[in-house]
Amino acid sequence: MYMRTLLIILLLGFSQIGVSQEDSTTLQIVLPVGEDWKTVEEGETFKVRVSAQGGKDANYRFNFGSNEGLDMKIDGVGNFRWAVKYEIVSGYNNIEIIPITFFVENESKETDSISVEITVTNKINKEEGSIGELYFEFPEHIGWHLLDEGDTLTFPLEIKSGDRAVENISFYLEGDKDTGIQIDSMNIFTWIPSFDFVDRLEQTRDKHIVFIAEDLDGNTVTKKIEFTIFHKNRPPVINQLPIIYVLQNTNNVYQLSGNNVEDPDGDPMVILPIVEQLPPGGDHQL
């Protein structure tokens, strides 16, 4: 009886060891422990080391998947980097959740994946930056950040300390791609939103622009401004009309083509003649 019990215990032990060895060969992605590493602030670089364990071989290859247009990279040994831009957090939200899925594969074609959510916090709530008590000087009149398509917004970019303007400051923008915004050599900000900037059916469009000032020591001041652009409805354009010759005692028919009249906003048009100015006997059809 004693020998039988001992034999059963030994068999159970070997069975458990076998299960443990089988589990140890399963390919798994390994990420840092805890939740603190999953938070990053706008303007910073998010870094994490992605590793793996187990599998039939240790020749791991790493990859990832996430939203398009984000400046993310991962090298051959699993070092993941993401340069977080300031416009990631939209509107007046305090955070933005960005999902990322990490993948690993070895030469034996074994794979594993894991998805995480990275929390991006809004830097606008941290007043102005890191150059002491310096701040941006923007226009003071109400509604300066509201403008129509085709209108001109221009003002000098300045950094102040108290009432004194600070010199030797370089200015940059983020979020200005495809806007036509310009900053000249005198640090004058100019924006003339194009007439196709706002969809005519939407009527308005919000655009977040991050202003960045940097001193000679590399310290920065940042400020996010939300601009609201309004669609401006432009009148139809009548191009050069052809010369019309009228023959007497003949039914003369003339038709205006789409090349003669156009609406720059793409709105539907109806051509209405001034009846009082038609020649005697003239008529029109829509």
Q: What is the mean pLDDT of the chain?
A: 81
Q: How many CB atoms lie within 10 A of CB 168?
A: 8
Please, which pLDDT band fits residue 132 given cuts at 50, 70 and 90?
low
Please name the amino acid found at residue 90: S
In this prediction, residue 31 carries a pLDDT of 95
Phi, psi of 167 (to 5 degrees): -100, 175
What is the gyration radius of the CA atoms in the chain, in angstroms?
A: 33
Tell me if domain 30-122 and domain 135-230 are identical in fold.
yes
DSSP character for 9? H
pLDDT band at 260 (very low <50, low <70, confident <90, very high): confident
Element (H or E) spanning 156, and its range? strand 153-156
CA distance linking residue 253 with residue 2, whole number of Å: 117
**How high is the pLDDT of residue 246?**
79
Strand partners, 261: 238
Question: Could you read off the pLDDT of 19-50 as tens digits, one per residue?
Answer: 444 445 899 999 998 888 999 887 788 999 99
Q: Does pTM top 0.85 for this prediction?
A: no
- How do the domains of the chain map onto residue ranges? 30-122, 135-230
Question: What is residue 24's predicted lDDT score, i.e. its pLDDT?
Answer: 56
In this predicted structure, the answer to whether residue 167 has a pLDDT above a threshold of 80 is yes
CATH code for the domain defined by 135-230: 2.60.40.10
* Coil vs helix vs strand at 234: coil
pLDDT, mean of residues 2-28: 50
The structural architecture, per CATH, of the domain 30-122 is Sandwich (2.60)
Query: How far apart are alpha carbons 271 and 254 in whole angstroms?
Result: 14
264 beta partners: none
**What is the average per-residue pLDDT within 109-120?**
92
For the chain, give the number of residues. 286
| Contact (CB, 8 A) for 147 and 139 | no
